[in-house]
Amino acid sequence: MKKTKMILAGICILGVLAGGVFGWYAMRNWPLRFHRELDAFFGEGRWRVLSQDVETSRMYRVYQGGSQLYGDYRPGKYHEWKIGTVDSQGRETVWVLSDHAYRIRRSRKQLFARARDGFARELLDCAMTMAGEELRETVLGKLLSQEERDCLRVTVSYRGGNPKNCGDILKKPWFTADKVDAGHFLETDFWEFYIDIFAYDYRVNTLSEEKKDHLLGSLSEIQQALRDAYGDAAAYEIYLDPEHRADSRTEEK
């Protein structure tokens, strides 16, 4: 009887230890920890982890051993996950999520930085990229050829520093891979978002003179197309070259 109790006690201890190890791993493994949020954003069954890597950071260091006067510092580590997704139209895309920015904030004494907010910022980056790509193909697709559009980086960005309580954006009903677009960002009161259009000069220089002139000469048409698409909410910065640029904040309403 005594031996049986000892065996059961050992099993319980091992169970507790195994649970602790799994809990520690799950807290550090964002796709596992936030799988419900990934299901809600990408769609259940439409994403999978392709790889998980541990990288060395040059942005922060970790103190170890001894006192702060005599101890050593080592480069910080962070995790990077490649997530393969399939959208509602069957198109495959690979996105990268990382806890790098979150770990940097933690290293700078922001001890109350929440992992959920750090994760939400990673999804926010994905969503802003998606919204920009959709805008480039729909709104700008009516004005520019594919070759001309390929010269542009089109995304949604924001002003005023990083959004606070970023995890709150996960609650927005439109914050999913299938629904998100630039209009949602421009109209939300969550943060000050705007459309960022930037032309890479090395790509523009590969265009024929005719297409290059057409792209650079389309600035006013692009501005009008954004105003037509998003109305009074239209906020943007456009850079095609030093002589062809626009900022909605400096325009008369």
Q: Which domain holds residue 158?
A: 114-253
120 within 8 A of 127, measured Cβ to Cβ:
no
In a domain? residue 177: yes
pLDDT per residue as tens digits for the range 20-35: 333 433 445 899 999 9
In a domain? residue 122: yes
The mean pLDDT value for 205-228 works out to 96
pLDDT tops 50 at residue 225: yes
Alpha-carbon span 48 to 40, nearest angstrom: 13
217 lies in the same domain as 183: yes
Strands 236-241 and 192-199: parallel
89 lies in the same domain as 155: no
Which helix (H) or strand (E) segment holds residue 36: the answer is: helix 35-42
pLDDT per residue as tens digits for the range 166-178: 888 999 999 999 9
100 lies in the same domain as 178: no
Answer whether 0.75 is exceeded by the pTM. yes
121 lies in the same domain as 146: yes
pLDDT per residue as tens digits for the range 94-108: 999 999 888 877 766
